[in-house]
Structure 1
Amino acid sequence: MPLDEDVVAAIYRDHGAALKRFVLSASRDPQLADDVVQETVLRVWQQAPQITGSLRSYLFRTARNIMIDNYRKAQRRPQEAGDREVPATTDGAGAAGRIDDLLNKVLMEEALLRLSAEHRDVLVALHYRRCTVQEAAAQLKIPSGTVKSRAFYAVRALRTILDEMGVQR
């Protein structure tokens, strides 16, 4: 299939910066991040007709898989002079776990941004800042009953958004 430069350019334009930030937060190597982003966009472009759900979620999962594959390949090849040493305590499962945690964080941030500001504020206060209902009510300057109601509807909305994004629970 010939490369559709407009589609690839649109993927880079709409998702490239966020994708690179995600890869950089896992690797800290700008050249490697560029390579992973490029490979991710090309793989997703090849699979585009088969993608269901959120393209962004699919991009992040694809980048995650590429990073894990790259890590595993690096572990199988002999250490070359000039290569940075990988700590002996680092293993494939640990790297995959860290990348999964990072991916979950990125996807949750994206999902939270899709919520209304009122719902997001309540969830952030209750679940991230670990406030009690009364503390959240005081911080947000709303009644505690409103905090409870918004939390209920925010969680429902968040589940729907995560389902639309293709995030498996």
Structure 2
Amino acid sequence: MQAEVVEQAQAGNVDAFRELVRDAAPRLYGIAYRILRDSTRAEDALQQALVQIWEGLPGLRDIDRFEPWTYRLVVHASYREAKRQRRWMASVRQISVEPSAPDQFGQVLDRDEVERSFRRLSPEHRAVLVLHHVIGLPIREVAEVLGIPMGTAESRLHYAARSFRAAFEADARSTVAWRAPA
């Protein structure tokens, strides 16, 4: 079914493309949000990725690879958005704190300690964790989506998990110390 819709969208059928977007947008937004941790920037990255999907769709040779291809585009759009955000932040020298957007990925990542630890990771580390642990892609597909060798994906996943664990444990220690009576 999806293959037919992809073929129709490749042929320029706007309604077919809308159907693809309607089905894929929540997942793609979730990936962008997990990488960027900002709802507005995630929406911007999603819009950039959707434009790239529309423009690149006629050149997609393997229709069965549509979904991983869209993941790759949204991850790279998120990287670009993160880079733009870093440049902007450096020029303004301000940190804007916005409330987290509601998300569908469960209560675990809503906890403040986990959120702070996750924000400390680089966008590249966030991407590999999101694709593997949240989306559930095997490491081979994570490597394909990110356009990196499988060994690099495995290494990045290892270091991302290690960095996350260290940040989480440091936050947990500081929280316990802060709450402890004097």
- What is the 5 A alignment of 1:118-137? none
Q: Does 1:96 align with 2:109?
A: no
Over residues 1-20 of structure 1, what are the superposed CA-to-partner deviations in whole Å (9 max), with x where a residue is unaligned?
Answer: xx853243122122111112
Over residues 21-77 of structure 1, what are the superposed CA-to-partner deviations in whole Å (9 max), with x where a residue is unaligned?
Answer: 222222332222222222211101100122234211111111111111111122223
Q: Does 1:73 align with 2:84?
A: yes
RMSD: 3.6
Q: CA offset at residue 101 of structure 1? A: 2.6
Distance 1:18 1:45, change over 3 A: same
Identity %: 16
Q: State the partner residue of 1:26.
A: 35
Q: Structure 1, unaligned stretches of length 5 or more?
A: 112-157
Does the 8 Å CA contact 1:24/1:33 hold for their aligned counterparts? yes
- What is the 5 A alignment of 1:143-154? none
- Dislocated runs of 4+, deviation >6 Å: none
TM-score, normalised to structure 2's length?
0.48
Q: CA offset at residue 110 of structure 1? A: 5.3
- Structure number, greater radius of gyration: 1
Distance 1:4 1:82, change over 3 A: farther
Q: Which amino acid aligns with 1:16?
A: A
Q: State the partner residue of 1:48.
A: 57
Q: State the partner residue of 1:36.
A: 45
Q: Structure 2, unaligned stretches of length 5 or more?
A: 1-11, 98-115, 151-182
Q: CA offset at residue 80 of structure 1? A: 5.7
